[in-house]
Structure formats: C-alpha cells, structure tokens
Amino acid sequence: MLAKRVLLLFQPKRCRAYSNATETQTRKVTVLPDASVDTFRSQAYGPAIPVLLPRHTFQQLPAVQKWFAIDTPTTTLKRSYLARYGSTIVPLEISNNEHFSRTEQSLSFFLECVHASSSSYKTRPNRYFSAYVPGARAVKRMKLSNDFFSAAAVTVAQDSTLYPSVTTPSARVYLAQAAITSLPQGLRDDVPTPDLVLKTGKGDVYDSSIWLGEAPTYTPLHRDPNPNLFVQLAGTKVVRLVKPEVGRSIFAKVQERIEGSASDVMRGEEMMKGAEKKALESEIWDDDHVKEHNAPVWEAQLNAGDGLFIPKGWWHSVKGIGTGMTGSVNWWFR
C-alpha cells in the first residue's frame, strides 16, 4: 500500500533505531528524534509508518511505578496495591501446553495465579490450581478445566519423608486486552491517555487495553482495524511487523498449508492454539521463513517506558521475553 518513495522515509538519517534484529533477516523500526505531536503526526501517523518513540518516553506513567516492583532482579507485581481492586472482573487467557481458553475472573484470582506460578508447594498446593477440578468452588468452572490445572498437583518423591516433592503449576494465566474503560477509576488514573493520542488525528480513542502476564507471553500474527499506540510498562517485549499486503499473503499461505478456512478479519481462539498458532509463529519468527517472504519484516524491542506506533492494517506479532512480569498498555486511535 505504501509507495516506494514512502519506504525511503522509513529510516531517515536523523532518526535512530533500536532492536535485536539482524540486518540480513529483519529491519529495525525507526526511532523518532523526539516525541512531539508535530513530529509524530508528520513522520508516523500521517504516512502510516511504524515508529518507536524515543526510549523511556512513557516512563512517567503512574502504572510503571505503582503496579510493578522493577528494582528487583525479576520484575514482579505490587500485589498489595493491585489487591485494592481485587473484585474487578478482568478477561484472562489460560493456557497449558496445547490447551487454551478465555474466561473472566476477578483481579484477585489473577494475582493469586501469578503468585502460584512462581511458587513451589511441598504439601498443600494453591487452591486456584490443584483445586481446580469438577466441584471446586474457588473459581467458576470452564470447559477443559482439568486439562489446564490438574498438572499443578503435587507429586510425591520416592522417599517423601526425606525429600518432599516440589512442583510448580504448569498453567499460564495472561490478563489480555482488558479495556481500560472497564477498570476502577484508580487504575484508570494510572494509565492516562497520552497527548499523542488525544492531539493526533481526530483526538479520540477508539478503545484501549492493558496486558499483564509473566514472560514468556505470545500474541500471534494479526492486524488491527485502527492505528495503535503500544506502550511497555514493565519487562521486555519484541514485536515483528509486516505491511498489510505481506501479512495477508502470509496468512493465506498458512491457511492453505493447514487446510484452514479462518478469516483474517474476525480472529478467534483458533489463532491461539493448534496448527494455525504454530504455523503463524514459524512464518514470522523463524528467520529461515522470514527470508523466504522476499519482503521486509520489521522488528522492535520495547522495555519499560518505550512506545511503538503500529499503523492501521499492519500485521504484527508480539512476544514477551526474559523472566518475570511483563505489562503493556495500548490505545487505538479513532
């Protein structure tokens, strides 16, 4: 969709770039020289080009300090603060090996799951994990509940009196795409809408979300119907992006390979599990496949306080890397 002359602007000399991409396989996303509305409008939003804002542009968002303990070896959630809003219902993605499901639970449940996933149990497992069986009342039942949580049950070593067995839950819980407008006012105040969103374009927000989960996290290749400002609050995420026509080609190739019939517009759970998930991941993250596309794949690495602009229609996939908690927030422009 972009003319060749526009692509020449993608890495202007006055801009920097940062990424862990290799030159032969991916291109680095351009970093704007400053975070002013005028620069953003003229070099990113207007020409519809992915860009990174200067490092740590969003470091002062209250959520960065209030939600995360970032001065520790491994970033963790500040449970005591977030627990004030424990009754808030949030959307969760629960995965265990090849199983995947979406559900809605309280923020308290999510906090307990995060705590459980980083803990080991010798005698009494956490009620949210090993007790998650038919008849349990700790949380609402869902399809395939045993498939998700029974793997967290404590196993017994040969000599349990001398060497009590230790296990950690294998299920992973990701608070994904929780609308900011659905959160209590206190949490909403922690992620105020940036001026770049309020003063660019129509100055209106189509929607906004928060994302919280322990690394590794993964969002398959997809596209959004609106321009997107994606901001990292904690941890590290790597984003790979391709132009709209390249993404459509990759998606069609995957559907043909797996003999699927999914729509590239209406995406469901099929992209989060099974053959489609594996195929999409391979096409965008396997460097050998990236070379076969004969089209650029852009990559950006975001740390706490960094922001990435993703234009409308650009296909992208996101990975949370490293260890510890990752947190992100995004706003879709009207």
CA distance 120 to 168: 5
4-62+183-333: CATH number: 2.60.120.650
CATH 2.60.120.650 placement within the chain:
4-62+183-333
Query: What's the rounded mean pLDDT across residues 4-13?
Result: 37
- What pLDDT is attached to residue 261? 81
pLDDT digits (tens, 9 = 90+) for 75-93: 999 999 999 999 999 999 9
pLDDT for 16: 52
Q: Report the chain's terminal Cα–Cα distance, integer Å.
A: 20
Per-residue pLDDT reduced to its tens digit, 207-216: 999 999 999 9
Q: Which residues are CB-contacts of 235 (< 8 A; sequence separation ≥ 6)?
A: 75, 215, 303, 304, 320, 322, 324, 325, 326, 327
Percent of the chain with pLDDT over 70: 76
Which of the listed ranges 139-153, 168-182, 224-238, 263-277 does the model predict with the highest average pLDDT? 224-238
- pTM score: 0.80
Nearby residues of 117 by Cβ (< 8 Å), 6 or more positions away: 168, 169, 171, 172, 173, 214
Local confidence band at 97 (pLDDT 50, 70, 90 cut-offs) = confident
pLDDT tens for 110-166 read: 999 998 876 544 434 444 444 333 333 334 434 443 344 433 332 333 334 443 444
**C-alpha distances out from residue 83 to 113, 185, 192, 271, Å:** 13, 14, 20, 32
Sorted by sequence, the CB contacts under 8 Å of residue 150 that are 6+ apart come out as: 130, 132, 133
pLDDT at 118: 64
More confident residue, 127 or 37: 37
> In the prediction, which pLDDT does 99 show?
82
In the structure, what pLDDT confidence band is assigned to residue 24 with cuts at 50, 70 and 90? very low
Percent of the chain with pLDDT over 90: 61
Exposure of 258 by Cβ count < 10 A (0-12 exposed, 13-18 middle, 19+ buried)? middle
Q: Look at 237 and 155; give whichever has higher pLDDT.
A: 237
Mean pLDDT of the chain, nearest integer: 81
Over range 218-245, report the average pLDDT: 96
**Structure confidence at residue 221 (pLDDT):** 94
